[in-house]
A = this chain, B = another copy of it.
Amino acid sequence: MKKIINAVDQVENQMIEGMVKAFPQYVKKLDCGNVVVRAEKKTGKVALISGGGSGHEPAHGGFVGKGMLDAAVAGAVFTSPTPDQIYEGIKAVDDGKGVLMVVKNYTGDVLNFEMAAEMAADMDGIEVKEVVVNDDVAVQDSLYTTGRRGVAGTVFVHKIAGALAEKGASLDEVQAVAQKVIDNVRTMGMAIKPCTVPAAGEPGFELADDEMEIGIGIHGEPGVEKKPLETADEIVDTLLEKILADIDYSGSEVAVMINGCGSTPLMELFIVNNRVADVLAEKGIKVYKTMVGEYMTSLEMEGFSITLLRLDDQMKELLDEEADTPALTVAK
Most chain-B CB neighbours within 10 Å: which of A232, A277, A322?
A232
Check A203 for interface membership: any CB of B closer than 8 A. Answer: no
Check A238 for interface membership: any CB of B closer than 8 A. Answer: no
**Chain B residues positioned under 8 Å from A18 (CB to CB):** 269-275, 277, 292
Check A107 for interface membership: any CB of B closer than 8 A. Answer: no
Most chain-B CB neighbours within 10 Å: which of A17, A58, A209, A266?
A266
Check A297 for interface membership: any CB of B closer than 8 A. Answer: yes
What total of chain A residues lie within 8 Å of the partner, measured CB to CB? 66
A231–B5 alpha-carbon span in the complex (Å): 6
- Say whether B58 contacts A266, CB under 8 Å: yes
Measured CB to CB, the nearest residue on chain B to A192 is: B2
Bitwise, A217-232 to B at CB < 8 A (1) or not (0) is 0000000000001011
The answer, among B210, B270, B331, for a CB contact under 8 Å with A19, is B270
Select the stretch in A40-48, A117-125, A175-183, A298-306 that faces chain B.
A298-306
- Say whether A22 contacts B277, CB under 8 Å: yes
Check A84 for interface membership: any CB of B closer than 8 A. Answer: no
Select the stretch in A127-135, A145-153, A155-163, A257-265 that faces chain B.
A257-265
Bitwise, A310-331 to B at CB < 8 A (1) or not (0) is 0000000000001010100111
Check A252 for interface membership: any CB of B closer than 8 A. Answer: no
Check A104 for interface membership: any CB of B closer than 8 A. Answer: no
Check A23 for interface membership: any CB of B closer than 8 A. Answer: yes
- Say whether B300 contacts A265, CB under 8 Å: yes
Check A193 for interface membership: any CB of B closer than 8 A. Answer: yes
The answer, among B4, B11, B272, B329, for a CB contact under 8 Å with A329, is B329
**Chain B residues positioned under 8 Å from A331 (CB to CB):** 322, 324, 329-332
Check A55 for interface membership: any CB of B closer than 8 A. Answer: yes
- Say whether A22 contacts B292, CB under 8 Å: yes
Most chain-B CB neighbours within 10 Å: which of A18, A229, A302?
A18
**Chain B residues positioned under 8 Å from A209 (CB to CB):** 2
Most chain-B CB neighbours within 10 Å: which of A5, A193, A270?
A270
**Chain B residues positioned under 8 Å from A272 (CB to CB):** 4, 18
Most chain-B CB neighbours within 10 Å: which of A7, A229, A267, A326?
A267
**Chain B residues positioned under 8 Å from A332 (CB to CB):** 331
Name the distance in Å between A43's Cβ and chain B's nearest Cβ. Answer: 21
Name the distance in Å between A127's Cβ and chain B's nearest Cβ. Answer: 31
**Chain B residues positioned under 8 Å from A285 (CB to CB):** none
Check A91 for interface membership: any CB of B closer than 8 A. Answer: no
What are 9 A-B contacts with C-beta separation under 8 Å? A4-B272, A17-B274, A19-B292, A21-B274, A263-B263, A263-B264, A265-B300, A292-B326, A331-B332
Check A39 for interface membership: any CB of B closer than 8 A. Answer: no
Check A141 for interface membership: any CB of B closer than 8 A. Answer: no
Q: A273-B22, A302-B300 are in contact. Are A231 and B267 (CB under 8 A)?
A: no
- Say whether A271 contacts B329, CB under 8 Å: no
- Say whether A263 contacts B6, CB under 8 Å: no
